[in-house]
Chains A and B, each alone.
Chain A
Amino acid sequence: MGKEPIFSNIDMEISKGEFTFLTGVSGAGKSTIFRLLLGLEKPDSGSITFNGAEVTAMVGDEKSRHRRSIGMIFQDYKLLEKRTAEDNIAIPLQINGISRNTKEIKIKDIASKLKIDNILKQQVRSLSGGEQQLVAIARAAVHSPKLILADEPTANLDQKMAGRIFDMLTLLNVEGITVIVATHDINLLKAHKRRILLLKQSCLIEVH
């Protein structure tokens, strides 16, 4: 109603198994794209199709099911701080109604892959930022989602830890999970030659 649209005429397609960077200056709308993909926001017009289903038309349980097929990683981790790392990683499995034994196996498996076995029993608030982000990645990937959306996953981390986080995301991508990383970290974009989508002046431009 008289407001300027955040995006206009955006058209993009991401194939299964791709690793894509979504970049742009702060406030360009990277996080909004993720919120649209998750069904947390509705576009004024247009459509978003995920795995053959129309996201904008989803309601109730259908929307929940759609979100369960996506792993989300946030810049501020969004972990339950009073719980242990293991409890946090277990949440998507609990939501999916996975049995206790399978849950334990899956948690051990992802923890070993991300090399965080030693911090599983620790309370999240006692962990460093980098460790918390690794727990967030483990939580996003433990139920083998089709897509992982990482919103500025390395923003608050030193270079060494940022490298480790990126390696983990690459590892998950190699295993077949589609990964979209929103970042404005030029160094990260330069260091890794991947498809880059740039959000600029309400438009989406393909860089590579």
Chain B
Amino acid sequence: MIVTAFVQTIENLREDYSAVLSGILMTSFSLVILGTFILVYLNLIHLTQLAFRKSHYSIFLTEPISNPDKQKIASFIKSLPDVGALEEISSAEAKKQLIESFNEAQEIFKKIDFPKFPNIIEFVLDRSGPLSTDELSQLQAMPGVQDVITGRETRDQINTFFNIANFVGLFLIILLIVCVVLIIYNTIHIGIRMRSKEIEILKILGAPARFIKWPFLMEGMLIAVVSYFLSLGIIYFLYSFVIAGITFNKATYSIRAIVRFFSPLEMGNLFLTFILLGLCSALLATNKIIKHLDV
């Protein structure tokens, strides 16, 4: 049955390939948009995870501070798990760094009389999570600690952005999937209408419904498979083009190591998803129309 249906599908394509070809092109176009969106989204998540993997902390010290207190704070930080390098920045150095950050406007800011800067201890935590509440409160309670700056606000802002992006992304993905289903559905619908005479002949000759349906189901899957590979090729080309464009110098070359294309597992999952979409769309079209052509 499957072999006969496959031969039948090829015969049908040989006779009327225009509808299928336009279906493939339109489906590929939708899949390119969908795939690009998913790829950008995956990379954003990946980059954010990398960025948050190293949490930076600044401890503002009280003025004046005794050396033993400073030593105790440093020892406590070094005792924390996954802690990286520790750097002490003096009040004068902090002011210098701030002024340098203004680039061309440095001269103006040099003349401003800033309030006295505190001495700062900076450290990096090389783990996926931030300091625990217990660790943070212990640190804040130590003598000589004025404040601990954790960058939590930035993290919260990015989380809010991702929550919104998740919602919009989910909506877009559903919208594009519906588009793909409708395109395949319409292509099969047109194919069935074009072959309505043939279907009626087959029914008179005693063809069971599955014999008539299978070639159309295969056609739906074929559109999905061809469109999948076509769009994957286009997305890979665009990806390579963009990466080559933004990593042409030494400064940005390291981006190559961070951004990524779809993994084989993701590609496999997408492939199976699209075959299923093609099959479901074709099934919807055949069930609806062949019922009307019942003889």
Contact = CB atoms under 8 A, between A and B. Distances in A.
| Contact residues of A: prevailing secondary structure | helix
B208 A61 contact: yes
Give chain B's interface residue range (CB within 8 Å of chain A): 10 to 19
A106 to B, nearest CB: 15
Interface stretch (A92-100, A156-164, A173-181, A199-207): A92-100
Contacts, number: 49
A68 B206 contact: yes
A61 B207 CA distance: 9
Q: Which of A40, A60, A92, A94 has the most CB of B within 10 A?
A: A94
A64 B197 CA distance: 17
B251 interface: no
A83 B202 CA distance: 14
A95 B211 contact: yes
Given A94-B4, A95-B211, A78 B206 contact: no
A65 B204 CA distance: 11
Interface in B3-30: 4, 8, 11, 15
B204 A95 contact: no
A64 B207 contact: yes
A17 B202 CA distance: 26
A46 to B, nearest CB: 21
A115 interface: no
B141 interface: no
A132 B198 CA distance: 16
A64 B1 contact: no
Nearest to A79: B201
Contacts of A95: 202, 205-208, 211
B85 interface: no
B112 interface: no
A146 interface: no
A78 B209 CA distance: 19
Interface string B175-218: 00000000000000000000001100111111111010000000
B206 A64 contact: yes
Interface of A: 38, 40, 60-61, 64-70, 72, 78-80, 82-83, 87, 91-92, 94-95, 97, 139
